[in-house]
Amino acid sequence: MFKSIYPYSGEVVAEYEEDAAPLQKVEKAHQVFSTWKNKSLAERQQLIVRFAEVLEYRKLEYAKIISLEMGKLYNEALAEVEKCAITTRYYAEHAPEYIQPLVMQSSFPRAYTSFEPMGTILAIMPWNFPFWQALRCAVPNLLLGNTVVLKHASNVMGSALKMQEAFLEAGFPDGAFQALFLSSDKVEQIIADPRIKGVTLTGSGPAGSSVASLAGKYLKKSVLELGGSDPFVVLKDANIQLAAETAVKSRFQNAGQTCIAAKRWIVEEDIYDEFKELTLNHVSKLKLGDPFDTQTTLAPVSREDLAISIEKETKKLIADGAKALLPTERQGCLLSPTILEITRSHSAYYKEELFGPVGFLLKAKNTTEAIEIANETPFGLGASLWAQNMEQAAGLMRQIQAGSVYLNSMVKSEGALPFGGIGESGYGRELGKYGIQEFANVKTYAIQI
């Protein structure tokens, strides 16, 4: 039995029973694939646009379930659903360009590659963006001609069900997208099934390692997005006011439960004190409370066990010498915004992703050290660099080891831009052209006339 619990009050929102026969859903997806793959791209595009319309029409309903299940601010939940609709429309428009056959020059008179569907894809998704994480995988795969089964996080099963209903309302065949009500210890039997042709996971490092091992064991293509410890590097010539404001927004949106949040603020010493004062001022204005209260600007974290873990981690760091500029206070799932001033040795030693409303502030002696600190992490998802010297910044962006680097902007995901990491942040890409090609059979046609 899975429970959805409203983090703010502890109220049980809904309960869902585990699937007694999950492989029946896999078989259903497999059967639908046999006809779905043969539909024209134009037919699939038409249904995808209808799906975007359903998202837009029902966004208030979907935002409510997101906020109730994982505690996101209601206005942030609305923005999440709207982003899903925008990205769905983006893919509907650009799919023909992204998966059109490519003519190849070879020894054959005629040769080309075609991007063709593989079959049913298993998506294992987290709770922090219940709609966005799932749909940025599902939409391009459905457009390509694959079918999708979703094993969602146990606390957001209601969101999974709403998405399944939305695809049906849009006119998709029953079975094209299905929610699996499945515990994590049952995942291997799904990956092992020969009808599953690929698996994608967004989640923790241990979960990614486990899924990658299983995908390798059963020879399945896999894509992993495993979070990060994203640096937010501020050089002395930066627009400090804008950088400080953006650093706080990036770190504390979604209660800090964002893979690409600015987790380490690395600031050159010439401007360090000014940046620290500005960020503390912005953080002090955050209001922790009820996600449905329009005055609230910081939501609770999604589960109490996560809140307890974050509290313990911050206390451990303080015991190890970090300075609490704003200490952690906890009441249930409510965590006060925390700022810890840490040293380079702390940053190099601390290898975990702290997934909550906690920011790390570090001083760098100069630009060289700032980039070195940015790269002292096993993760490599995103990075943000703040500077006004564009020529210098271009060179520094190449030095930062990450899947994406943003200049004078927080790291963000959008439909046009490939998203993914290196190192312990995983491999493969979502979104953009590569997001629709990851689970395609790149099939070569060589023709001797």
**Is residue 222 within 8 Å of 438, Cβ to Cβ?**
no
Clarify whether residues 318 and 442 are in a common domain. no
CATH of the domain at 395: 3.40.309.10
pLDDT level of residue 349 (50, 70, 90 thresholds): low
Task: Examine the pLDDT at 351 and tell me if it is beyond 90.
Answer: no
Please provide the average confidence, as pLDDT, over all residues in the chain. 96
Clarify whether residues 205 and 243 are in a common domain. no
Output DSSP code: residue 376.
Answer: -
Catalytic sites, residue numbers: 225, 259
Output DSSP code: residue 419.
Answer: B
**Is residue 135 within 8 Å of 163, Cβ to Cβ?**
yes
Range of the domain at 64: 2-227+423-447
Clarify whether residues 377 and 343 are in a common domain. yes
| 417 is a domain residue | no
Residue 113: per-residue pLDDT = 98
Measure the CA dihedral 58/60/62/65, to 10°.
-150
- Find the range with the poorest average confidence among 278-287, 348-357, 423-432: 348-357
Burial grade of 26 (CB within 10 A; 0-12, 13-18, 19 or more):
buried
Clarify whether residues 173 and 185 are in a common domain. yes
Helix 132-144 to helix 41-57 angle, to the nearest 10 degrees?
Answer: 160
Secondary structure (3-state) at 360: strand
Query: Quick one: tokens of 205?
Result: 């490092």
Number of domains in the chain: 2
Clarify whether residues 99 and 159 are in a common domain. yes
Clarify whether residues 182 and 300 are in a common domain. no
Residue 340: enclosing H or E segment and its boundaries?
Answer: strand 338-341
| 141 is a domain residue | yes
Strand 382-386 to 231-234 pairing: parallel
Clarify whether residues 377 and 311 are in a common domain. yes
- Measure the CA–CA gap between 72 and 301, rounded to whole angstroms: 8
Clarify whether residues 351 and 266 are in a common domain. yes
Clarify whether residues 211 and 248 are in a common domain. no
| 42 is a domain residue | yes
Residue-wise pLDDT for 103-115, tens only, equals 999 999 999 999 9
**Residue 386 β-bridge partners:** 234
| 414 is a domain residue | no
Clarify whether residues 197 and 249 are in a common domain. no
CATH of the domain at 156: 3.40.605.10
Residue with tokens 């299983």: 214
- Measure the CA–CA gap between 208 and 226, rounded to whole angstroms: 7
Measure the CA dihedral 311/315/321/323, to 10°.
60
**Is residue 245 within 8 Å of 409, Cβ to Cβ?**
no
Ordered DSSP codes for 143-173 = HHT-EEEEE--GGGHHHHHHHHHHHHHTT--
Task: Examine the pLDDT at 299 and tell me if it is beyond 90.
Answer: yes
Output DSSP code: residue 284.
Answer: H
| 86 is a domain residue | yes
Strand 12-16 to 102-103 pairing: unpaired
| 302 is a domain residue | yes
Ordered DSSP codes for 297-319 = -BPPPS-HHHHHHHHHHHHHHHH
Residue-wise pLDDT for 14-34, tens only, equals 999 999 999 999 999 999 999
Clarify whether residues 12 and 152 are in a common domain. yes
Residue-wise pLDDT for 62-96, tens only, equals 999 999 999 999 999 999 999 999 999 999 999 99
Measure the CA dihedral 273/279/284/286, to 10°.
-170
Measured in residues, the chain has a length of 449
